[in-house]
Structure 1
Amino acid sequence: MVLSPVPGGSTVDAVLDQLQAQISDGSWPVGRRIPAELELAARLGVSRPAVREAIRALTHVGVLEVRRGDGTYVRSTANPRALLRRLARASIRDTFELQLAYDVQAARLAARRRTGADLARLEELLRARDEATEADEFGAADAAFHLGVAEASGNPLLIEAMRFFIDRLHESMRAIRLDREVPEAGPAAHRAVLDAIAAGDPQAAASAAAAVVEPTLAVLESLAAREEAAAAEKSEAGAGR
């Protein structure tokens, strides 16, 4: 299959579709080095960041492998598009439910395994989060702190899962910063997570991590229940006409 320009206005999904098609039809077999980002961007008629994001998504699910200084290689012919679509369509509530699971275990492990370098980096990431003002900047800084906790866990699978998930968390936190109806945990709650990790207290770290997510999740669940009730009421009213 030959790569063709992506229609204007298309998302990264369109780039993913083309890259996956090259792999699925055997044009790029396992072990093959794929074209460089710059070449792919030119052939697809898209920005280099769009290509980079698509490659990163396929790398996180094991389809591609990036070898520093060498290039990107096909690692598997499996098609992860269903998983990627579900992730893209996940609600903010779905995102926070998953974040709760990741964050609690990441904090627990980080309290056991963190190094001095980990703590210094987490301090910097927390400072950046506290100082962020614009919604997009805040979303990125919040996601970076949570990823930093996962990286301090020392669990390679948890780290990769969190890296795969982090863009969705970034977007969710950006949306929450713009929506005053949904609260987000402030500096004190995040400081409690870092303090417990620094103290080497796994249980306190896990509890603090849960306390960061649970209040926001409770409001999201309440809003979802309200929307479901309104939809059911509207449906019943329509059926009674």
Structure 2
Amino acid sequence: MAVVNRESLSDQAARLLLARIEDGEWTVGQKLPGETTLAPQLGVGRSTVREAIRQLAGQGVLASRQGAGVFLLARAPVDDWESRILKANIASILEARLAIESEASSLAAQRHTHEDLEAIRVALARRRADRVSIAARVDADTAFHRSIVAAGRNEILVELFDTFAERSRDAMIQMLEFNGEAPTARDDAVHEDIVDAITKRDATSASELSRAHLLALRDGALQEELRDGRADADSG
């Protein structure tokens, strides 16, 4: 069994897995072995296998079904906008969110109506309450940030946010599952500060707070990727 090199572990793992698929090791519709089986076969850690599977799911080759496993959908990848997002690492996804949301927060501070502000506050309250699962946390957080983008009254930014949020949802869930971090008072305070800046029509602060929040998430994701790469190298 071939083992990946240290460079671009998840990309190489995805290529090795795709080669096995193209060789007919599994039939369309068949369930693939679990991460604990594939990881030693590919010579990488489980998290790298998970990322490789996510890449191939983004290409329409695999499908992850919650509670059931990973299944083969097709033998060849289909590359499109959705797959490019799903193949991106979480840091790249957060950087794209940063570009959308920092500007949207500034516009929301300048343009919001009373009704917009009420919608933002309701979404903030739901964000604090909807924590029964990681998926619920992601959905509530997305709804909160969308309320801010909508208050900016720029249809293009809203469309970009909706398209991007829908296609990056699984990646955000995977990031939280991997980190295993519960919501913190500091995280709540950051979001409250963003709402406060929007309420005061302080466009500069709203933008800077949104940017700082997403940069912190991005930096945390980069550190996780670095630690994961070191762990894979040590196990290789």
* Fold conserved between structures, TM > 0.5: yes
Tell me the distance in 2 between the aligned counterparts of 1:131 and 1:233: 40
Consecutive unaligned residues of structure 2, counting only runs of 5 or more, are 1-27, 32-56, 61-77
Quick one: structure 1 residues 12 and 218, their matched pair in 2 at CA, closer, same or farther if it must change by over 3 Å? closer
- Asked if structure 2 preserves the Cα contact closer than 8 Å seen for 1:139 and 1:172, the reply is no
The ranges of structure 1 where at least 4 consecutive aligned residues each deviate by more than 3 angstroms after the TM superposition are 7-14, 179-185, 226-235
What TM-score do the two structures reach when normalised by structure 1?
0.59
* Structure 1 segment 186-205 matched on structure 2, within 5 A: 186-205=187-206
* Superposition pairs of residues 1-241 of structure 1, within 5 angstroms: 81-133=79-131, 134-180=133-179, 186-229=187-230
Counterpart Cα distance in 1 of 2:138 and 2:30: 24
Hey, what's the Cα distance between the residues in 2 that align with 1:177 and 1:233? 24
Deviation larger for 203-212 or 226-235: 226-235
The alignment-based identity, stated in percent, is 24
Q: Deviations over 1:109-150 (max 9, x none)?
A: 111111111101011111111101111111111111111111
Structure 1 residue 99 displacement after superposition:
1.1
| Structure with larger RCO (C-alpha < 8 A, sep 6+) | 2
Q: What CA distance in whole angstroms lies between the structure 2 residues aligned with 1:81 and 1:152?
A: 33
User: CA–CA distance in 1 between the matches of 2:207 and 2:112?
Assistant: 14
Q: 1:137/1:9 Cα in 2 relative to 1: closer, same or farther (>3 Å)?
A: farther
Cα shift at 1:13: 7.4
CA RMSD of aligned residues (A): 2.9
For these two proteins, the number of residue pairs brought into alignment is: 164
Structure 2 Cα separation of the partners of residues 157 and 137 of structure 1: 26
- TM-superposed CA distance for 1:181, in Å, is 5.6
Give the partner amino acid of 1:167. Answer: E
Gaps of 5+ in 1: 1-6, 15-79, 236-241
- What residue identity is the alignment partner of 1:224? E
1:104·1:209 contact (CA, 8 Å) conserved in 2?
yes
